């Protein structure tokens, strides 16, 4: 007899349980439990009233797997409508990622690398950082990992750029509205705490594995959180006296935002951009499970085929890319801070 039989009898629900309950569905675990019934130890004296425990006493109550199946059925029921809504606005993301990857594959190394080094110098104005970037890409090229590294870099730059494009305005809007901040913060908490693999599950059902936006959306959703949070924080930390002085000079809200608040919040915003770049790079490796090219594919190959050297070298390449992106973004932040002080 199930533990909660008496409970349903005492509540007068036995007729309902017997009338509406179907036959219990046996899972593989149930079949194994029956096969080993003679050797099985006694179950818990007071089982937690979970769906499965209640189902043993009342067949009208669904099992846990029925609940899980209903969630899946609900998602599949709205999948087509959801895809119809999401397809048009996300299609440009696929195009941008495709163009970036095609450009990396089509442009010869003796053009793309000098362009990359000049860009690093322009952003950082640091000889040490530029020399380090040159050394890193020379090493990656020497071990024939230059093409996957450039593919990974292109994906990171595209997704980071879109994260900044949308994240900074959202952060500004949150800083200007307490109500919007209270609404958006739980969403950001959810995005920041979800396991990285979970981002891919609904997207696999919505989009084809061959579409770059499948991994692009996952990367952006995971990486956009820091730039939103730190933009909001940076503007809220602007000295109130400075804001009041801007009001006293008769500045409009737009002038105050562009002339006072954003320049003073720029160090925090740049720190958020730095974290967004790092999280984009981390997610690119996970996204290689769904056809994202680059160094992550080599890492997966090392895991799948137990090729220790392939996995370690590709992982070292990802570490070097992370260091490059971190040093360049921090050098850019230091440059911006130095300009502001003068």
Q: C-alpha angle with apex 118: 112 to 123, nearest 5 degrees?
A: 125
**In terms of residue numbers, what domain contains 216?**
78-341
30 plus 148 within the same structural domain: no
* Cβ–Cβ < 8 Å for 313, 139: no
Residue 166 has pLDDT above 90, yes or no: yes
229 plus 333 within the same structural domain: yes
User: Which of 80-84, 169-173, 333-337 is least confident?
Assistant: 333-337
Using pLDDT thresholds of 50, 70 and 90, give the confidence band for residue 201.
Answer: confident
DSSP character at residue 260: I
Closest CA to 113 of 149, 64, 75, 73: 149
Residue 40 has pLDDT above 50, yes or no: no
11 plus 40 within the same structural domain: yes
Mean per-residue pLDDT over the chain, rounded: 87
Residue 32 has pLDDT above 60, yes or no: no
CATH of the domain at 272: 1.10.3720.10
Residue 339 has pLDDT above 90, yes or no: no
Euclidean distance between CA atoms 2 and 17, whole angstroms: 13
207 plus 120 within the same structural domain: yes
Q: CB within 8 A of 17, min separation 6: which ones? A: 8, 57, 58, 59, 60, 61
Give the number of other Cβ atoms within 10 Å of residue 136's Cβ. 17
Given this model, what pLDDT does residue 99 score? 95
47 plus 90 within the same structural domain: no
Residue 33 has pLDDT above 60, yes or no: no
167 plus 241 within the same structural domain: yes
Q: C-alpha angle with apex 175: 169 to 179, nearest 5 degrees?
A: 105
* Cβ–Cβ < 8 Å for 4, 58: yes
User: Which of 5-9, 207-211, 239-243 is least confident?
Assistant: 5-9
Residue 42 has pLDDT above 60, yes or no: no
319 plus 262 within the same structural domain: yes
- Extract the runs of DSSP E, i.e. beta strands, from 179-325: none
Closest CA to 292 of 107, 86, 148: 148
Please give the residue that has the higher pLDDT: either 286 or 140: 140
84 plus 183 within the same structural domain: yes
Euclidean distance between CA atoms 257 and 246, whole angstroms: 10
Instruction: Kindly state the average pLDDT of the residues 62-83.
Output: 89
Instruction: Kindly state the average pLDDT of the residues 13-18.
Output: 81
Per-residue pLDDT tens over the stretch 76-133? 899 999 999 999 999 999 999 999 999 999 999 999 999 999 999 999 888 999 999 9
Report which listed range, 139-153, 262-276, 297-311, is most confident: 139-153
101 plus 43 within the same structural domain: no
Given this model, what pLDDT does residue 209 score? 82
Q: Looking at the 3D structure of the chain, how many domains does it have?
A: 2
Closest CA to 207 of 95, 79, 98: 79
Residue 215 has pLDDT above 80, yes or no: yes
Instruction: Kindly state the average pLDDT of the residues 312-337.
Output: 89
Per-residue pLDDT tens over the stretch 278-315? 999 888 878 888 888 999 999 989 988 989 999 999 99
45 plus 106 within the same structural domain: no
Instruction: Kindly state the average pLDDT of the residues 66-76.
Output: 89
Residue 17 has pLDDT above 60, yes or no: yes
Give the number of other Cβ atoms within 10 Å of residue 289's Cβ. 17
Buried b (16+ CB within 10 A) or exposed e, 152-188: bbbbbebbbebbbeebbebbbebbeeeeebeebeeeb
Residue 44 has pLDDT above 70, yes or no: no
Per-residue pLDDT tens over the stretch 231-241? 999 999 998 89
86 plus 32 within the same structural domain: no
Torsion-angle region of 116 (φ positive above 0: left; ψ -120 to 50: alpha; else: beta): alpha
- 87 burial via Cβ count (<10 Å: 0-12, 13-18, 19+): middle
Using pLDDT thresholds of 50, 70 and 90, give the confidence band for residue 16.
Answer: confident
- Helix, strand, coil shares, percent, the chain, to 5: 80, 0, 20
122 plus 39 within the same structural domain: no
């Amino acid at each position: 007899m199930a533990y909660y039989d008496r409970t349903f009898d005492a509540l007068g629900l036995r007729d309902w349980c017997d009338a509406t309950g179907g036959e219990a569905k046996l899972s593989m675990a149930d079949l194994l439990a029956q096969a080993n019934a003679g050797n099985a130890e006694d179950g818990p004296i007071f089982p937690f009233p979970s769906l499965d425990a209640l189902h043993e006493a009342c067949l009208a109550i669904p099992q846990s797997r029925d609940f899980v199946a209903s969630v899946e059925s609900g998602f599949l029921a709205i999948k087509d409508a959801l895809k119809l809504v999401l397809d048009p606005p996300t299609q440009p993301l696929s195009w941008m990622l495709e163009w970036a990857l095609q450009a990396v594959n089509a442009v010869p190394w003796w053009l793309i690398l000098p362009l990359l080094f000049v860009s690093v110098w322009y952003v950082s104005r640091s000889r040490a950082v530029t020399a380090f970037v040159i050394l890193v890409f020379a090493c990656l090229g020497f071990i024939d990992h230059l093409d996957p590294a450039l593919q990974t870099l292109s994906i990171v730059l595209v997704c980071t750029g879109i994260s900044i494009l949308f994240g900074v305005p959202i952060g500004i809007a949150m800083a200007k509205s307490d109500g919007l901040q209270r609404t958006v913060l739980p969403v950001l908490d959810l995005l920041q705490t979800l396991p990285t693999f979970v981002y891919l599950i609904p997207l696999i059902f919505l989009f084809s594995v061959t579409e770059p936006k499948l991994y692009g959306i996952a990367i952006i959703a995971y990486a956009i959180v820091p730039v939103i949070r730190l933009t909001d924080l940076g503007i809220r930390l602007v000295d109130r006296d400075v804001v009041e002085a801007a009001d006293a000079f008769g500045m409009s809200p737009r002038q105050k935002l562009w002339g006072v608040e954003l320049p003073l919040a720029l160090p925090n915003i740049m720190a958020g951009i730095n974290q967004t770049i790092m999280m984009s790079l981390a997610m690119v490796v996970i996204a290689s499970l769904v056809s994202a090219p680059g160094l992550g594919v080599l890492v997966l190959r090392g895991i799948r085929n137990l090729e220790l050297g392939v996995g370690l070298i590709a992982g070292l390449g990802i570490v070097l890319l992370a260091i490059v992106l971190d040093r360049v973004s921090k050098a850019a932040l230091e440059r911006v801070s130095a300009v502001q002080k003068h």
